[in-house]
Amino acid sequence: MIEHTAVVEWQRTGGESFVVQRYSRRHPVSFDGGATVALSASPHAVATPYADPKAVDPEVLFVTALASCHLLWFLSIAASDLAAHLLA
Amino acid sequence: MSGMSEHTAVVEWRRVAGEAFVDNRYSRRHAVTYDAGVTVALSASPHVVPVPYSDPSAVDPEELFVTSLASCHMLCFLYLAAKAGYLVDSYRDAASGILGRNAAGAAAITVVTLRPHCEFSGAPQPSPAELAALHDQAHHDCFLASSVHSEIRIEPAL
């Protein structure tokens, strides 16, 4: 088993009307390799300026996880198929 | 949320000049670009592919998967907390996912554990039971949690 970790953080910024949903949805994620990415609710889901259109939304992260995993498997299978072809 | 929205990402990999590829010794580093212009370096995890063919400073797809669930849960939680009148000051989740084998024997992220810790100010503040109820509802509302087969455990840190 392999464990993969991520730390998601959000801080309320002063002067916002939190209880009436007027707060920034921007939140960073930090990975153990040192990368940090600015995240936010999508502007499709929450109006700007409370959503940040320049940040990455969780829906697109989910899509990226699947696209990246597929790409890595595809490359691995293509490399072994090429090896089998060259040995044949 | 009503209706449909489309969320796009462009993932790209290029073989590094001189790499044979067929020997499996090729860089797993690739990049994702989002429509807002953000680019993130990705790679297979060094737990899966040895360095230097993986890049430990890049983000792996398993981490992205965990992050999407942690981020979606947090956004749902903040919405519900605000609706209930609780003033949240901060939220931190050291989340993790286990890559293991599912019941069918396929490699899968079998368990994702969220460990949300929130700080509140003013009054009212939720009791531990009310906090747990907010997280239960956030989990129910989280559309990414509804999109996966992974078991999702929520272990609020008080």
| B35 plus B69 within the same structural domain | no
How many domains does chain B divide into?
2
Using DSSP's 3-state secondary structure scheme, residue B57 falls into coil
Same domain, B91 and B47: no
The contacts of residue B63 (CB under 8 Å, 6+ apart) are A4, A5, A6, A31, B45, B97
What's at B24, amino acid-wise?
Answer: N
Measured between beta carbons, which residues in chain A are less than 8 angstroms from residue B79?
A: 21
B40 and B68 share a domain?
Answer: no
Q: Could A79 and B82 be called an inter-chain contact, meaning their C-beta atoms sit closer than 8 Å?
A: no
Taking the CA of residue A78 and the nearest CA in chain B, the distance in Å comes to 8
Residues on chain B touching A79 (C-beta within 8 angstroms):
21-24, 26
Report CB contact under 8 Å: A79, B71: no
The CATH code belonging to domain A1-56 is 3.30.300.20
Who wins on pLDDT, B2 or A55? Answer: A55
Task: State residue A84's pLDDT score.
Answer: 87
Same domain (yes/no): B10, B78: no
* Whole-complex ipTM: 0.94
Angle at B136 between CA B131 and CA B139, to 5 degrees: 125
User: Which chain B residues contact residue A36 at CB under 8 A?
Assistant: none
Strands A27-30 and A36-39: antiparallel
Cβ pair B41, B55 in contact under 8 A: yes
Taking residues A12-32, what's their average pLDDT? 91
Residue B102, min C-alpha distance to chain A (Å) = 12
Q: Please spell the DSSP secondary structure of A16-83, one letter per residue.
A: -BGGGTBS---EEEE-TTS-EEEE---TTTS-TTTS-TTSB-HHHHHHHHHHHHHHHHHHHHHHHHHH
Q: Are residues B45 and B74 in the same domain?
A: no
Identify whether residues B74 and B118 lie together within a single domain: yes
Q: Structural domain of residue B82, as residue ranges?
A: 61-154
More confident residue, B4 or A26: A26
Domain with residue B116: its CATH number is: 3.30.300.20
Q: Measured between alpha carbons, how far is B77 from A46 in angstroms, rounded to an integer?
A: 14
The pTM of the full predicted model, rounded to 2 decimals, is: 0.95
Residues B124, B65 share a domain: yes
CA distance A43 to chain B (A): 10
Question: Which pLDDT score is estimated for B82?
Answer: 96
Instruction: Among B59, B74, B105, identify where a domain stops.
Output: B59
Residues B81 and B27 in one domain: no
Measured between beta carbons, which residues in chain B are less than 8 angstroms from residue A10? Answer: 74, 78, 90-92
**Mean pLDDT of the B146-156 span:** 95
Q: Are B71 and B54 members of one domain?
A: no
B39/B91 same-domain check: no
